[in-house]
A and B are shown apart, each in its own frame.
Chain A
């Protein structure tokens, strides 16, 4: 599927040789600049999203705007609901009827959706929820933040459930993860959260406009009319505790399966790293620059980047940091990711935290400073 481009009518068709090679002219892969919000929306359309429900909020508004224009063009469903509560419950209904559903919002709106998400998790309904995080708590700011990490990874709403959470750190990665989020949601019959932030939503990066499709699924549980077959039930209410516990045990078995199969992470410069940064999303981009600067100054730094935030790549992090002197969690929040880092490392290596809040973003030099401080207060004997 090719991305529609509302803002231009001509496609760049440049043929050029890479600068400095003097080689034969070769066609550049045709790429276009897209905003993160728009790219995630188009990725969902390419992945076969049947229905979108949402309510405007900065910094994810362009996602909803893109869907408002593109979904009707594709003959699919777009509803700007009267509230976030309505949007998530429309999603519940559409998912129960077998639709591939996307919902998006930003932090305060996501909180409003928590009840519906719990109902969907309890009802075993697939949905992809994109949270373009902003500063909090409360109405907070519209700056990019990561303060919803614990909310997303530790359950979101009430009750004993988990939600797979994916944290992209570039627009190209966000495009891939939108498709994977739908695949995971349907494979395990669960809501999936894509945890982005204001910078990722607002920035533009080059993307290849040929977004991959996702084959339609053929579920055997959807409520599509019981004519000629046994009725099916989709619900989260099980009044008898014995029944509910049986249901919850089944849910936990699904989460174990997800933990076994859906771990994702990436590493940069880890092989000889003495100081390892752990960061996701925009904080991981800042950390990449910090690693380069630290290495230029002679400090052997590396970056461990969790992509699945739940399930958290704990074993991989433990292994990657086994020979390190210290680990520093870098986040746009007040010490949330660092809790999972500490759980993963099990006290084997000293763990530090460096974060900014409220829509402020750590600077590369600030992160290098945090690494130097971690170096100064450790003795290198941990390994």
Chain B
């Protein structure tokens, strides 16, 4: 088993953070994991992405040319990463910011109004965690409880006051992913 996920959007949307949460959850489940940030000359408002590969054995390529999942949170990311998803792969689209429709017919598409879902869950900034929740709800890549633990590990200490809000946002996304009708 090896599963690759690309998470992409604007800098400041929590792209790298969402990837770290997924990576930490995989670690907690005893899996192998590789997390790679885009580290180009990016800035707040520019594009950011990260790749997370999870496997039950040695991980090969850090370069993903056939992603199992792509989570796209802004319009340029849809354009850039839709072609990299493997046939049958999952594309999570943040419809709050992305008006364009995916063009491929061989993907499973989850259209999630991430900002609205995040706002209802209590904090409209937690867009990437909602999207991560939707992806995991749909594909059950790691357990929901493990993600809660991962959030506690990563945010514990300096940002411990944020754990509850992140768990709520994740759960809201997770429920959406479980329930959404395939687009």
Q: Which residues of A contact B (CB under 8 A)?
A: 7-10, 12, 14, 16, 18-19, 28, 31-33, 58-59, 142-143, 198-199, 202-206, 282, 285-290, 292, 361-366
Task: Decide: A203 and B59 in contact? CB cutoff 8 A.
Answer: no
Q: Mark B9-48, 1 if CB is under 8 A from A, else 0.
A: 0000000000010011001111011111101110000000
**Chain B 143-178 interface mask (CB, 8 Å, partner A; 1/0):** 000000100111011000000000000000000000
Residue among A18, A205, A286, A292 making CB contact with B33, cutoff 8 Å: A205
| B61-A289 in contact (CB<8A) | yes
Q: B149–A285 contact, CB under 8 A?
A: no
- Whether, in the assembled complex, B60 has its beta carbon less than 8 Å from a beta carbon of chain A, the answer is yes
B37 close to A202 (CB less than 8 A): yes
Give the nearest-CB partner of B33 in chain A: A206
Least CB distance from A312 to B in Å reads 23
On chain A, the residues within 8 Å of B156 by CB distance are 8-10
Docked Cα-Cα span, A26 to B7, in Å, equals 33
Residues of A within 8 A of B182 (CB): none
Tell me which residues across on chain A come within 8 A of B40, comparing CB atoms: 142-143
Inter-chain contact A203/B60, CB cutoff 8 Å:
no
Find out whether the CB atom of B60 lies under 8 angstroms from the CB atom of A364.
yes
In the complex, the answer to whether B41 meets A204 with C-beta atoms within 8 Å is no
Evaluate contact between A286 and B61: CB separation under 8 angstroms: yes
| 8 Å CB interface, B124-151 against A | 149
Near A by CB (< 8 A), chain B positions 29-78 give: 29-30, 32-37, 39-41, 56, 58-63, 65-66
Q: Nearest Cβ in chain B — how far from A267, in angstroms?
A: 14
User: What are the 9 A-B residue pairs with the smallest beta carbon separation, nearest first?
Assistant: A289-B60, A288-B60, A289-B61, A9-B157, A363-B65, A204-B35, A286-B61, A203-B36, A10-B156
Report the minimum CB–CB distance from B70 to chain A (whole Å).
16
8 A-B pairs whose Cβ atoms sit less than 8 Å apart in the complex = A8-B153, A9-B156, A16-B30, A18-B30, A33-B27, A198-B39, A202-B37, A292-B60
Interface residues on B, range: 20 to 34
For residue A7, which residues in chain B have a CB less than 8 angstroms away from its CB? 154, 157
Other A-B pairs beyond A202-B39, A203-B34, 15, CB < 8 Å: A28-B30, A33-B23, A33-B24, A58-B39, A59-B39, A142-B39, A202-B37, A205-B32, A205-B33, A205-B34, A205-B35, A282-B62, A286-B61, A286-B62, A290-B61
Q: How far, in whole Å, are A199 and B63 apart by their CA atoms in the complex? A: 9
Bound-complex Cα distance A58 to B40 (A): 10
* Cross-chain contact B63 with A286 (CB below 8 angstroms): yes
CA distance A287 to B56 in the complex (A): 19
Closest to A11 in B: B153
Residues on the A chain within 8 Å of B24, using CB: 33
Specify which chain A residues have a CB less than 8 angstroms from the CB of B34 in the assembled complex.
Answer: 203-205
Q: Report B89-139 residues with CB < 8 Å from chain A CB.
A: none
Contacts of B66 in A (CB 8 A): 365
CA separation between A286 and B33, bound complex, in Å? 15
